[in-house]
Structure 1
Amino acid sequence: MSRTHQHTPHHGQSGHHPGHHPGHHDDDGDGGQAEILELDAEVLAEHMASITAWLPLKSEPHQIVDLGSGTGAGTFALLRRFPDAHVTAVDTSVGHLRLLREKACARGVDSRVRTVQADLDTDRWPDLGTPDLVWASASMHHMSDPVRALRNVRELLAPGGLFAVVELAGFPRFLPADAPENRPGLEERAHAAADDFHAQHVPHRGADWGPMLAAAGFTVEDERTITVDIHGGRDEAVGRYAYAGLQRIRGVAAPALSQEDLAALDDLLDTDSPNALLRRDDLAVRTERTVWAARRP
């Protein structure tokens, strides 16, 4: 099994969310989460395309299932990569699936997309057909019982079918290390506080899925880590992505931050402040994504 590290800088793109929960969700958070998912899809589109192009498939898939599809970043990347395929998008959020369906209609691919609202944390999954490829991007770590979920995927797949698990190595960083000027290192401290929260509530975040896939009866054929380093400058989409991301991190990290750090973070998120995040021209998107390609024997 090989591990490939690919550094892919990209400058001035027009246009990693904490992950969408394929099981239970908070309806009130759908709108904010949908915004982050849409920005993630826009800003990281080239990296998603590179992952779909890399998949070690023996033949082009005709039936694909996107588990925890969110608003469709993976679904539409797969439809572009495999023009003869049909995708079943599965998510717990009715709002996310409604948006995905609207986008499919607008893009003229609605006949190739089926949406299924389901809680994947239950014992019994709905009938999802017998796909040649199952795709799960930033969703497996939300499963309350990932071992059970992996076995369900194995039973779902056609013999010889491929399962692609894509996971983030944490939420992206946007600011330089010495920013903001009055509280250098603020972003890392906010991430550390958020990581403590996620360690308690999302224990499988950052897991090595290779051994778990093997234990569930898959043959892990390859693994690849992609380093994302997108320099945004004054790119509007990168700015909106950074704003939405840090706003979401604040909601989790606030109780653990010092008053000084919280005040500095609020200053960055205040669009009327001279120090506002959206006024900066040194924003970037820095993160890593790892993909495991596993085959059902």
Structure 2
Amino acid sequence: MGHHHHSDHAGHADLADILDLDAEVLHDHLTEVMAWVHERAGNPTTVLDLGAGTGAGTLALARRFPEARITAVDVSPQMLEHLRHKAHAAGVADRVRTVETDLDTALPDLGATQAGAQASIQADLVWAANSLHHLADPVGTLRRLRTTIRPGGHLVALEMSAFPRFLPGDALEARCHAAVTEARTGDMPHLGADWGPLLRAAGFTVEAEHRFEIDLRPPLPEATGRYAQATLRRLRDGLDGRLTPDDLTALEALAEAVPHRADLTVQASRTAWLATP
């Protein structure tokens, strides 16, 4: 969704890798979020996953809602191909279909109704995880999205407030995060936004909001070191020209060393909003 890095194939492979590692390391977090969704939205059978990426949310939804058919939407054909492989490996390929759509310009087609009528199928649940902040005009897109949700259905937005932190008290990591915050005000003004008012502006009723704190301490999931390394490297690439040359060099060294650090943790927070059309 306006991921400008999708055009660059190496950058794309890096991002896919980070998304996969994120899904592995934060598996328990996603399970907890799905339990929260289940409690409030029941058992949806038609689900739309917006900005599905490599399918962490798609697969978590498929696990949590075994009756559900899921349409995974992303702007990147490579991501969707990767997602199809994962759905196949997880044994849920028969319930997952992928649609390549740029949500800034078009709504996903959920397929015609049984009778072959032009009317689109409506979703019981629209799931958008860390994807809304990529939209050029989130309120406009959300307003259009309301028509894809059946009466009584729900939209769940899950957004991170910042990139995960790995080394408590590390001054360099803190400087990097400050630089990212500064960079993204121009680049992605909606990252870390309060989505409640934006959802309401688009005509939704916000029924619940929950902040999920992620605080992983040793013993950490096996992939944590690689996840921290990939995230810090991506951070470094994104901050080229925004950090001093010394800090960039130090950040590369930190990324190299981080998998072997005894003080490695994962700290992040994500907020979920549950809304009805």
Aligned letter for 2:215? D
Structure 1 position 136 matched with structure 2 position 128: yes
**Local SS of the residue matching 1:159:** strand
Residue number in structure 2 paired with 1:145: 137
| Counterpart Cα distance in 2 of 1:225 and 1:198 | 22
Deviation at 1:235, TM superposition (A): 5.0
**Local SS of the residue matching 2:214:** strand
Residue number in structure 2 paired with 1:67: 50
Worse overlay, 153-162 or 259-268: 259-268
Contact 1:240-1:278 at 8 Å conserved across structures: yes
Residue number in structure 1 paired with 2:118: none
Aligned letter for 2:150? A
- Where relative contact order (Cα < 8 A, 6+ residues apart) is larger, the structure is 1
Aligned counterpart in structure 1 of residue 200 of structure 2, from 195, 208, 214:
214
Aligned counterpart in structure 2 of residue 38 of structure 1, from 20, 26, 29:
20
Residue number in structure 2 paired with 1:117: 100
Residue number in structure 2 paired with 1:159: 151
Structure 1 position 279 matched with structure 2 position 265: no
TM-score for the superposition, normalised by structure 2? 0.91
Contact 1:22-1:139 at 8 Å conserved across structures: no
| Counterpart Cα distance in 2 of 1:79 and 1:196 | 37
Report the identity percentage.
50
Q: Which runs of 5+ in 2 are unaligned?
A: 111-120
Residue number in structure 2 paired with 1:8: none
Contact 2:210-2:271 at 8 Å conserved across structures: yes
Q: How many residues are matched?
A: 264
| Counterpart Cα distance in 1 of 2:141 and 2:95 | 25
Deviation at 1:254, TM superposition (A): 2.9
Relative to structure 1, the CA distance from residue 141 to residue 58 in structure 2 (aligned partners, 3 Å threshold; closer, same or farther) is closer
Contact 1:191-1:253 at 8 Å conserved across structures: no
Deviation at 1:131, TM superposition (A): 0.5
- What are the residue-to-residue correspondences of 1:244-255 with 2, within 5 Å? 244-255=230-241
Aligned counterpart in structure 2 of residue 189 of structure 1, from 175, 196, 211:
175
- What are the residue-to-residue correspondences of 1:20-35 with 2, within 5 Å? 21=1, 25-28=6-9, 29-35=11-17
Residue number in structure 2 paired with 1:273: none
Relative to structure 1, the CA distance from residue 217 to residue 155 in structure 2 (aligned partners, 3 Å threshold; closer, same or farther) is same
Structure 1 position 173 matched with structure 2 position 156: no
Residue number in structure 1 paired with 2:32: 50
Contact 2:195-2:273 at 8 Å conserved across structures: yes
| Counterpart Cα distance in 1 of 2:221 and 2:43 | 35
Relative to structure 1, the CA distance from residue 36 to residue 233 in structure 2 (aligned partners, 3 Å threshold; closer, same or farther) is same
Q: Which runs of 5+ in 1 are unaligned?
A: 1-20, 180-184, 271-275
Aligned counterpart in structure 2 of residue 228 of structure 1, from 214, 220, 234:
214
Aligned letter for 1:264? A
Structure 1 position 99 matched with structure 2 position 82: yes
**Local SS of the residue matching 2:140:** helix
Relative to structure 1, the CA distance from residue 116 to residue 268 in structure 2 (aligned partners, 3 Å threshold; closer, same or farther) is same
Aligned letter for 1:43? V
Contact 1:220-1:293 at 8 Å conserved across structures: yes
Deviation at 1:265, TM superposition (A): 1.3
| Counterpart Cα distance in 1 of 2:173 and 2:167 | 7
Contact 2:25-2:221 at 8 Å conserved across structures: no
